[in-house]
């Protein structure tokens, strides 16, 4: 019997789409869809950097993450109502920021900041990986807006980047978990990888206990497969041209 709720194969990702130019004003905007999960990612270019980078000639990339009130089955309180951001959202936005900073050549970008806002419109598992993957697409479009102004010749990217989840449910290793799978997973992992198959970040937790080196190896294979498939979706959505990039 197929162990998956939606009938997918164990190593099959959900339908992934990136709808670019989703909002009017941001330098980059995309609606990232992973199955029923929807995350709106917008990129804003700010012509200044944090105080610790002033005068260095280096740029900065940062991120913010939030879930809209009815992105889940029950209403989520806004941070203004809670009196501050919750720990989960803080952790996720730091993941998004770290991941996207890793792929940017900050010296080539110059003294400016790109802010990636990730707002979850609908949550069905994998919101953080959708935020990283969609955030990358929005980031690329914001860099393109600067390239069009002749700020730089090539997009200041070191590599392409995406993220995906994987886990073990009832001893089955599964790729790209939906909410029902994620909530019952014995092992839950998130992978951020580049187009060369190198790791930017791995998050892994034995939700129901411990996991072995064999479990980890099995999930690493799934994570590598899934991230490369998402990168192909990103490249297709962005219509990336080699003339824009300084790497292969």
pLDDT, tens only, 44-60: 999 999 999 999 999 99
In the numeric block, which tokens belong to residue 26?
A: 């941001």
**Does an H or E element contain 64, and which?**
strand 60-67
What pLDDT sits at residue 159? 98
In the numeric block, which tokens belong to residue 123?
A: 């949550």
- In this structure, how many other beta carbons lie within 10 angstroms of the beta carbon of residue 108? 19
Q: Is the separation of the CB atoms in 64 and 93 below 8 Å? A: yes
Gap between the Cα atoms of 206 and 193, Å rounded? 21
What pLDDT sits at residue 2? 66
Q: Which residues, 6 or more positions from 225, have their beta carbon under 8 angstroms from its beta carbon?
A: 11, 175
Report the DSSP pairing between strands 161-169 and 172-175: antiparallel
Residues of the chain with pLDDT under 50: none
Q: Which of 200, 230, 203 is nearest to 101 (CA)?
A: 200
List 17's β-bridge partners, or say none: 33
Gap between the Cα atoms of 143 and 156, Å rounded? 8
In the numeric block, which tokens belong to residue 125?
A: 């598992």
In the numeric block, which tokens belong to residue 52?
A: 């610790």
Question: HSE on the CB side for 36, CA within 13 Å?
Answer: 12
Q: Which residues, 6 or more positions from 38, have their beta carbon under 8 angstroms from its beta carbon?
A: 31, 32, 120, 121, 122, 130
**Does an H or E element contain 33, and which?**
strand 28-34
Backbone angles phi, psi at 25, to 5 degrees: -100, -30
What is the CATH superfamily name and number for domain 16-75+87-238?
Answer: GHMP Kinase, N-terminal domain (3.30.230.70)
187-194 β-sheet, strand order? 172-175, 161-169, 187-194, 199-205
């Amino acid at each position: 019997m197929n162990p998956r709720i939606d009938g997918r194969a164990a190593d099959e990702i959900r339908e992934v789409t990136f709808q670019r130019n989703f909002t009017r004003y941001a330098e980059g905007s995309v609606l990232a869809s992973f199955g029923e999960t929807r995350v709106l990612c917008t990129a804003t270019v700010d012509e200044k950097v944090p105080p610790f980078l002033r005068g260095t000639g280096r740029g900065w990339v940062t991120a913010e993450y939030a879930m809209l009130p009815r992105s889940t089955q029950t209403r989520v309180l806004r941070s203004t109502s809670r009196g501050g951001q919750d720990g989960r959202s803080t952790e996720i936005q730091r993941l998004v920021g770290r991941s996207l900073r890793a792929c940017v050549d900050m010296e080539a970008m110059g003294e400016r900041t790109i802010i990636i806002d990730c707002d979850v419109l609908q949550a069905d598992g994998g919101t953080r990986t959708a935020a990283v993957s969609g955030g990358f697409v929005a980031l690329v479009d914001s860099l393109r807006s600067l390239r069009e102004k002749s700020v730089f010749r090539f997009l200041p990217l070191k590599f392409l980047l995406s993220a995906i989840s994987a886990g073990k449910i009832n001893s089955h290793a599964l790729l790209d978990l939906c909410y029902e799978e994620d909530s019952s997973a014995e092992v839950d992992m998130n992978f951020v990888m580049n187009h060369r198959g190198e790791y930017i970040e791995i998050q892994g937790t034995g939700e129901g206990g411990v996991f072995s080196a064999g479990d980890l190896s099995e999930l690493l294979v799934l994570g590598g497969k899934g991230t490369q498939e998402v990168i192909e979706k990103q490249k297709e959505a962005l219509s990336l041209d080699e003339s824009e990039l300084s790497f292969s």
